[in-house]
Amino acid sequence: MNHVVVVGAGLAGVRSVEALRARGYHGRVTLVGDESHRPYDRPPLSKAVMFGDLDSTVVDSDLGALDIDLRTEVAAKGLREGVVETTEGELEYDGLVIATGATPIRLRGEGPQYTLRTIDDALALRARLTPGTRVVIVGAGWIGAEVATAARRADCEVTVVEAAASPLAVALGPEIGGHTAPWYAQAGIELRLGTMVGSVDPGGLTMMDGSWIPADVVVAGIGVRPAVGWLAGSGIALDNGVLVDEHLRTSMDRIVAVGDCANWWSRRFGRRLRVEHWDTALHAPETAVATLLGQTAVYDPVPYFWSEQFGRMLQYAGHHTGARLVLRGDPASDPKWAAIWLTEDHRLAAIFTVDRPRDLVQGRRIVEGGQRLDEDRAKDPSIPLRDCL
């Protein structure tokens, strides 16, 4: 293998390059990214950058020492056997890493709207968050809550519109999401649930019921789609991203996929997962590169995510689909609480914590170990989870 091309210059792309060199690959490496910036981290965009604490989140990696050909402002347009078609011509490859990430979903309408995916997005939106500005955020998920937190910190008038019956309903379910709803009022934010947007128009939002919400700034935080349009017609298997096996191998020879765009098979949970979080972009490249180089490696992590919102640290580890929810503590009386999900045979499938980092660390290890919990003891937040086995 003489030339490896990595398409996507985010964290997953950079870690893929580092993994190639760490595993002894000495051939040519070309890293292609469609932005003008050097590779950077995305999680701080909705946190430190929006708060004004950072202006740059460049990944700490010595790309010069890695001896790679970094091509910024170059987008992939298509793929055929042995060739990536880009906006600057064709790139031949012997091995290919697909790390093109995801793109935000935009709302319908002709009015101006912001999304938060790139450093340019974050800086542009931050500049609009000034005292008294009417900010309407569509979507009460992770990003929506974090942007709402930053907007209130900037003394904006904030309204959050959510189609579901609770915040975080898609990510955590309506019961857990319902326990986070009071945080909005406590922060001085108007939260409108069960409300659908019709269109973004100049000056605000037209709702599906015909009502009008005036806004100086509209932010769409309704999710992302895997950025795989450039692979259409290539023959590579696609379904909610790039389909890969537990080795992160695609349906085509000498091609692997990592990060937000990879839909991988989890042995642990017995299902396909596509995880749009930093932890996946950080760790998946080790497995993908090993596979690309003909080595044996399996990617089967416990997915992990964190969010900082309304002065709270939220953390989640695992995958709870099909598992039964059990509260650990009372969210109504204790600001520091947790939730766990148990399988039919009482194994811990996932854990969510609010300002309980020790629970998260212990719970993540228990999920990794596939261990069973004593449910009655696990409900008691005064008992360490490790003592509930």
Over the stretch 287-326, which tens digit does the pLDDT of each residue have?
A: 999 999 999 999 999 999 999 999 999 999 999 999 999 9
Q: Which amino acid is at 349?
A: A
For tokens 């010595």, what's the residue?
62
Three-state SS sequence of the chain: CCEEEEECCCHHHHHHHHHHHHCCCCCEEEEECCCCCCCECCHHHHCHHHHCCCCCCECCCCCCCCCCEEECCCCEEEEECCEEEECCEEEECCEEEECCCEEECCCCCCCCCECCCCHHHHHHHHHHCCCCCEEEEECCCHHHHHHHHHHHHCCCEEEEEECCCCCCHHHHCHHHHHHHCHHHHHCCCEEEECCCEEEEECCEEEECCCCEEECCEEEECCCEEECCHHHCCCCCCECCCEEECCCCECCCCCEEECHHHEEEEECCCCEEECCCCHHHHHHHHHHHHHHHCCCCCCCCCCCEEEEEECCEEEEEEECCCCCEEEEECCCCCCCCEEEEEECCCCEEEEEEEECCHHHHHHHHHHHHHCCECCHHHHCCCCCCHHHCC
Backbone angles phi, psi at 79, to 5 degrees: -140, 135
pLDDT, average across residues 171-194? 97
Q: Where in the chain is the domain with CATH 3.50.50.60?
A: 3-103+224-292, 108-220
CATH number among 3.30.565.10, 3.30.390.30, 3.40.720.10, 3.40.50.11540, domain 311-387: 3.30.390.30
Residue 211, burial from CB neighbour count under 10 angstroms (0-12, 13-18, 19+): exposed
**Helix 11-22 and helix 278-292: axis angle, to 10°?**
40
Rounded to whole angstroms, how far apart are CA atoms 210 and 333?
Answer: 39
Q: Where in the chain is the domain with CATH 3.30.390.30?
A: 311-387
Rounded to whole angstroms, how far apart are CA atoms 323 and 268?
Answer: 14
Rounded to whole angstroms, how far apart are CA atoms 105 and 97?
Answer: 24
Mean pLDDT for the chain? Answer: 96
pLDDT of residue 319: 97
Beta bridge partners of 341: 325, 350
pLDDT-derived band at 62 (thresholds 50, 70, 90) equals confident
Q: How far is CA 246 from CA 11, 280, 318, in A?
A: 20, 13, 17
- Adjacency order of strands within the sheet including 83-86: 76-80, 83-86, 89-92
- Candidates 377, 373, 255, 253; CA nearest to 318 is 373
pLDDT of residue 63: 86
Asked if pLDDT for residue 60 goes beyond 90, the answer is no
| pLDDT tens per residue, range 143-167 | 999 999 999 999 999 999 999 999 9
Asked if pLDDT for residue 127 goes beyond 90, the answer is yes
pLDDT-derived band at 87 (thresholds 50, 70, 90) equals very high
| pLDDT tens per residue, range 39-58 | 999 999 999 999 999 999 99
Q: How far is CA 19 from CA 24, 62, 129, 134, 312, in A?
A: 9, 13, 39, 45, 34
CATH class of the domain at 3-103+224-292:
alpha beta
Token duo for residue 287? 């497995």
Asked if pLDDT for residue 355 goes beyond 90, the answer is yes
What CATH number was assigned to the domain covering residues 108-220? 3.50.50.60
pLDDT of residue 61: 86
pLDDT-derived band at 11 (thresholds 50, 70, 90) equals very high
pLDDT of residue 64: 86
